[in-house]
Chains A and B, each alone.
Chain A
Amino acid sequence: MKGLLIISGLGVLAMLAEIFKFKKLLLPMVLLGIVAAYAFNFMEWTNEYSISYFSNMISFDKIGIAFSGIIIATAFFWFILANDYFEEDTNVVDHFALVLFALVGALMLTAFTNMTTLFLGIEIMSIPLYVLAASQKKDLRSNEAGFKYLIMGSFASGFLLFGIALVYGASGSFDLEKIREYIALNSSGMPMFFYVGVIMIMIAMCFKVSAAPFHFWAPDVYQGSPTLITALMSTVVKTAAFAAFLRLFMVGFAGVSEVWTGILAGIIALSLVVSNFSAAMQTNVKRMLAYSSISHAAFMLMVVLANIRSNISVDAILYYSLAYSIGSIAAFGVLYNVTRKNTESIEAFNGLGKRNPLLAFCMTVAMLSLAGIPVTSGFFAKYFVFTTMIGTHYKWLLILAVITSAIGAYYYLKVVIAMYYKKPIHEEAVVIERSNVLVITLTTVIVIVIGIVPGLVSEMFKF
């Protein structure tokens, strides 16, 4: 909880920076603040019980704290990576504030216990992102991205509100625990509109995690937004949306699982097929990563699906989020630096193996991790998903996941092949800033280290 408050405070501070003229100091202050938030967040880990705040509107238990930890750590790396993004722009402080507020929303989503906090969290997280997506004012695609994101996002929020209202109508409460009790007591005779509400909430959440067939906004928004904002969306936002998804369906609606598991299985199957086949067709790397993020969303949803009767899956989804976020930060870091003066098509990567061997190596590791090859963290992530899924009835989904993973290797390796095999368009070396080198190598090292010693993370999440 203290972490959440600190980051809110930082957001307010960022808005004051313009007036009191300490713009230069802002980045170090934000970084320090994030470290502090992480530390406070971590200190709450030792709590044996969860403390709830604001008349039980929000409550940080261990799952919430662990997800917050992942989000804050990713944000830390992101801010270092993004230091010059803030310099280039005229409205520096606005951007700082917007990103920080999006973070606040994300943290709320990890720990909500009430439908109102869920809705608030989603809106606080999304609205800054609508603006940030369109933040390259003179770029047509960026404008399109912002507009599309806003329309589709509002649409999803509408679904969410409808769903919440229907669930409230049946159960008479916004509180997750109360809803859970209501389901337990009335397992035979709940009104039809309760189920409709649950499904509507699920659809809204699928919009947010961009699972097919609610994924149509994702490729355009990912491609149009500034690369760094795309990085933020595919790491922080995704993790937060999953934390929310997990909590909603693990705590709230686990009792009516027979209603939504079938639909969820269909959504997952569709996401796996659509994303991997579409990604294989892409020539724009950002667009490809957008489709790849849909496929990873499907993998994480599989854990939710398997979650009903197993206890390993919280570890699985946490490990998956961490592995995916860190790997994505490395990949987007390289992408950002490579495409800065270049096209975003895969040709930008041609000959990177010669033009900057370190960057090419890090990108290779990131791609192998996203493809799930040992000894990267992506492999263990996939392994955890496979182990949780094999105990369920959805073995056909597992086989589908295996086949689509092999297709996945195809498009991730396309980048690797371009880097080492294709002749570069420009011969000159790719020079990047020290801070970016630091982030990219550090995240690469983390990808390998938690890939070799997954116990570091997975044992931590034993409850």
Chain B
Amino acid sequence: MLTALLIGFPLLGALIVFFVKGNAARNFALGLSVLEFVLSLVAFAMYKNNPACTQLSFNHTWVQSLGINFSVGLNGISLLLVLLTTFLVPLIILSSYKNEYENPSSFYGLILIMQMALVGVFAANDGFLFYVFWELALIPIYFICLLWGGEGRSRITFKFFVYTLAGSLFMLVGLIYVYNHTNVEGLKSWAVQDMYNAGKSLTADQQGVVFWLIFIAFAVKMPVFPFHTWQPDTYVNAPTQGTMLLSGIMLKMGTFGVMKWLLPIVPLGLERWGNTAICISVIGVVYASCIAIVQKDFKRLIAYSSIAHVGLISAGIFSTTQQGLQGAVMQMLAHGVNVVGLFLIADILLRHTGTREIDKLGGIRGMNGNFAVLFLIVLLGSVALPLTNGFVGEFLLINGLYQYSAIAAAFAGLSVILGAVYMLRSYQGIMLGERKDNHLTFGSLAATDKAVLIIICSVIIAFGVYPKPLNEMAEEGVKILLSNIK
């Protein structure tokens, strides 16, 4: 019941926010999303860390004749991602306080609808329901990018929408194919466990086809090379909050989808094609890192770094080792928090100086020391320095990948080095050195920006020093997952 509430509450909130006029809308949205976070903390407290897989589940018949149920529940992995979502959304809303948006009620309402869909994706235990939430998440983000985005947004959001929709439709076909093979006492069923059984009953060839049908949707969403071409433009042109939603949470839909809706359904397909998937993921890591090094626009640089990170996560998942999967979960959490921080920093830079070009900035440390420290912490989290939250995940990921293949691990390990290169270089260019433009000024940070950055930095350090509670939960979740794959 609590899980259903977690999905329903943001929808209710959105309906309220739609009817609040003016800037009061954002206060409402902030309050409601904080309440949602509290709700998810309650779920966290109620969750018992034991191997019984799904907890807090809720089941209601939707379309009986087709075997579709509104069935939601949480296990270790999905609860962590729900927590990530509910934690980030208030921060995203808070970070928008310095941006004046037209039609604030629609803007914040759409963010809350997006939250509903995201929580739904993570909690769904029914294949059909999963697909519906998956598609639903696309609509609000499309409108957020379209209505409040930057120059040339109509063309770019088109590409984004059509690209992801095409991927999703292939996934729908794949899921229907598996559904058609389910058999529970003569009836078909969308329930996740029945889908797992049906998928395993397919021949290796069939599983191979289903693997690609479903994988394409996730590959586009993450995105992994070569399905990534929509991503940099969309990230750069979306409003900052849209980019945060896309990279912080929506990207995790893809990685989570692979874990829950791909690996356990087609283990034989995975055996055949897992290698290829790891290969393209690792290519993506190196490729995106190299492109990130030469970027001039800081926001675009983060966009490419995001492709590199997600490539590593994806490679870790497809290694299907305990460490690799666990690392993927930890890195998903860490990346979500860090990338929101980085995009906020890019936004702050733009607001204060009017540019994000690394070449035009410089010497900001001298003008605002606090900002320099906060930026540095977020940056170190992102390059996965020990004692920051990024370290645990990245270490486990490369460890898991090494068990699968030493060569893949070696190439993926490059991401750590290259990541340090482009991140530190951009820090150097933006914050250190001489001022390149004498008119450049940088006042003190707004209270809301400061608050968001401080919260993010404390999370980065706290879970870098003490990752145990999250790690244990991820471990349990991954164990169940692996038992389903085998």
Contacts and interface: CB of A to CB of B under 8 A. Distances in A.
Does B bind A? yes
Interface of A: 368, 373-375, 379, 383, 386-387, 390-391, 398-399, 402-403, 405-407, 409-410, 413, 416-417, 420-421, 453-455, 458-459, 462
Contacts of A387: 176, 179-180
Nearest to A420: B147
Contacts of A421: 146-147, 153-154
Interface string B313-326: 00000000000000
Contacts of A391: 180
Contacts of A458: 63, 65-66
Nearest to B170: A402
- Interface residues of B toward A: which range? 20 to 34
30 contacts: A373-B135, A373-B165, A374-B131, A374-B136, A375-B136, A379-B132, A383-B172, A386-B172, A387-B176, A390-B173, A390-B176, A390-B177, A391-B180, A398-B173, A402-B169, A402-B173, A403-B166, A405-B165, A406-B162, A409-B161, A417-B154, A417-B157, A420-B143, A420-B146, A421-B146, A421-B154, A453-B63, A455-B62, A458-B63, A459-B63
Given A459-B64, A459-B65, A368 B139 contact: yes
Given A390-B176, A390-B180, A421-B154, A374 B135 contact: yes
Contacts of B146: 416-417, 420-421
B251 to A, nearest CB: 21
Nearest to A399: B173
Interface string B37-65: 00000000000000000000000001111
- Interface of B, helix, strand, loop or mixed by DSSP: helix
Interface string B100-141: 000000000000000000000000000000011001101100
Nearest to A373: B135
The interface centre, meaning the residue of A373, A416, A458 with most chain B CB atoms within 10 A of its CB, is A373
Contact of B139 (A373, A455, A462): A373
Contacts of B157: 417
Contacts of B177: 390
B466 interface: no
Interface string B177-190: 10110000000000
B408 to A, nearest CB: 31
B158 interface: yes
A387 B132 CA distance: 16
Nearest to B155: A417
A455 B63 contact: yes
A31 to B, nearest CB: 33
A374 B132 contact: yes
A462 B63 CA distance: 13
Contacts of B136: 374-375
A409 B131 CA distance: 17
Contacts of B170: 402
B169 A405 contact: yes
Contacts of A417: 146, 154, 157-158
- Interface of A, helix, strand, loop or mixed by DSSP: helix
B216 to A, nearest CB: 10
A417 B161 CA distance: 12
Pairs A-B, 10 closest by C-beta atoms: A406-B166, A402-B169, A374-B132, A455-B63, A374-B135, A409-B165, A417-B154, A406-B165, A390-B176, A410-B162
A419 to B, nearest CB: 10
Given A421-B147, A455-B64, A459-B64, A402 B132 contact: no
A416 B162 CA distance: 14
Interface in B170-223: 170, 172-173, 176-177, 179-180
Nearest to B147: A420
B63 A406 contact: no
A407 B162 CA distance: 7
A144 to B, nearest CB: 33
Contacts of A386: 172-173, 176
Nearest to B134: A374
Contacts of B66: 458
A148 to B, nearest CB: 33
A405 B162 CA distance: 9
B65 A406 contact: no
A391 B188 CA distance: 14
A409 B157 CA distance: 12
A453 B63 CA distance: 7
A405 B157 CA distance: 17
Nearest to B102: A354
Contacts of A420: 143, 146-147
B463 to A, nearest CB: 35
Interface in B64-90: 64-66
B63 A454 contact: yes
A462 B65 contact: yes
A73 B362 CA distance: 68
A60 B239 CA distance: 57
A409 B160 CA distance: 11
Nearest to A416: B146
The interface centre, meaning the residue of A406, A410, A462 with most chain B CB atoms within 10 A of its CB, is A406
B169 A406 contact: yes
A228 B179 CA distance: 42
Contacts of B143: 420
B172 A413 contact: no
B110 to A, nearest CB: 12
A453 B161 CA distance: 26
Nearest to A315: B65
A455 B176 contact: no
Contacts of A413: 158, 161
Given A368-B139, A374-B135, A398-B173, A455 B65 contact: yes
Nearest to A353: B147
Contacts of A403: 166
The interface centre, meaning the residue of A391, A402, A420 with most chain B CB atoms within 10 A of its CB, is A402
A398 B172 CA distance: 11
Contacts of B147: 420-421
A422 B166 CA distance: 26
B252 to A, nearest CB: 20
Given A399-B173, A462-B65, 9 more contacts: A379-B135, A387-B180, A391-B180, A402-B170, A402-B172, A403-B166, A406-B162, A417-B154, A417-B158
B391 to A, nearest CB: 39
A375 B132 contact: yes
Nearest to B177: A390
The interface centre, meaning the residue of B63, B65, B165 with most chain A CB atoms within 10 A of its CB, is B165
A380 to B, nearest CB: 9
Contacts of A455: 62-65
B10 to A, nearest CB: 15
Nearest to A354: B103
